[in-house]
Amino acid sequence: MLQPTEVDIQIEVAVLKNRLDHIDESIHGIREQIEEVEQRVMRLERTTYMLLGGLILLQAMPFIQEMFSTLPS
């Protein structure tokens, strides 16, 4: 069986380093995408809570108006 030469080993190491660089770039890109999605989710959460608060206020508005109308002037 043939033993790999020094040049063969250097070529294989270069190929593996190149693959590792591509994997690192992909991981970096995926991390950035995850961070962007997290930011979007946080904005959606804030908007949802604001809308929910507004709906609760609208639901309670007739009761609040009735309370103020029954107060003595």
Model confidence over 24-54: pLDDT tens digits? Answer: 999 999 999 999 999 999 999 999 999 999 9
Residues in the chain: 73
Phi and psi, residue 2, nearest 5°: -80, 140
For residue 52 the two structure tokens come to 């929910």
pLDDT band of residue 19 (cuts 50, 70, 90) is very high
Cβ neighbours of residue 4 closer than 8 Å, sequence gap 6 or more: 12
Q: Letter for the amino acid at 57?
A: L
Residues 21, 23, 28, 31, Cα dihedral to 10°: -170
